[in-house]
Amino acid sequence: MRPRGRTGLVLAGYVAAFILAVIGFLILRVDSSLPDNQGGMAAFGDFLLFCGLWSILSLAPTALWLVFLRPYPRFWRVFAVACVLLAATGPIAALMMGPALAPAWVLLHLLALLKVLGAPVLAFGFLVCAAIAPVRRARLTLLGAATVEAVTAAYAFICLFILQRWPV
C-alpha cells in the first residue's frame, strides 16, 4: 500500500472513532436520567465521558499507524523517549493534587487533574505501543512508561476510592 493510502486509512480510522464516540456519548447521555440543563459540572463530566470514549476508540487507528511505522527504528527510539517524558509528568501531576492551591495556579491544578485521570488510557496505550515496537530498547522503554502511568493510575484510584481524599 502506498503512503497516501496508509495515511488515508489511518485518518479514516480517526474519523470513524470520532463518529463512534459521538454516537456512544449520545446513547449514554440519552439513557441517563439527568436533565439537559445541569450546569458546568455536568458539562465537564460529559466532556470527560466523550474524551474517554474517543481516546479508547482512537487506539485502533493509532495502532495501525504504528504498525505502518515499524520499519523506521529511529522513529521508535525518539517516540519511546517522548513517551517516557510524558509519563514522567504523571507522578508530578498526582502529587500536585493535594491541598488547594493559590487562585493563580488553578489552571495548572486542572491540567494535573486531567493528566491523572488520563493515566489509565495512557498506560494501556503505551502497552499497545510496546507490543508493536520492533526495537527491543524502545519496547522496554515503552513498558517503563506504561508502568509509570499504571502506578499513577493506581495512586489516583487509592486516593479517590479508598482514602476518599488527596493526601496533603
**Domain limit, last residue, from 68, 102, 120:** 68
Residues 5 and 29 in one domain: yes
* Residue range(s) defining the domain that contains residue 15: 1-68
Q: Report the SS3 class of residue 70.
A: coil
Residues 112 and 149 in one domain: yes
> How many independent structural domains does the chain possess?
2
Q: What is the mean pLDDT of the chain?
A: 88
Residues 35 and 76 in one domain: no
Residues 62 and 81 in one domain: no
pLDDT tens per residue, range 37-47: 666 777 778 88
Q: 108 pLDDT band (50/70/90 cuts)?
A: confident
Residues 28 and 96 in one domain: no
pLDDT tens per residue, range 58-102: 989 998 999 999 999 999 999 999 999 999 999 999 888 776 666
Instruction: Tell me 118's DSSP state.
Output: T
Cell for 161? 476510592
Can you give the C-alpha Rg of the chain in angstroms? 18
Instruction: Tell me 161's DSSP state.
Output: I
Query: H or E element: which one contains 86?
Result: helix 73-95
**What is residue 85's predicted lDDT score, i.e. its pLDDT?**
97
Rounded Cα distance, 81 and 109, in Å: 25
pLDDT tens per residue, range 118-165: 899 899 989 999 999 999 999 999 999 999 999 999 998 998 899 888
- The owner of cell 456519548 is 25
Share of the chain above pLDDT 70, in %: 92
Residues 76 and 64 in one domain: no
Residues 52 and 8 in one domain: yes
Residues 48 and 101 in one domain: no
**Domain limit, last residue, from 68, 94, 111:** 68
Residues 117 and 64 in one domain: no
Q: 35 pLDDT band (50/70/90 cuts)?
A: low
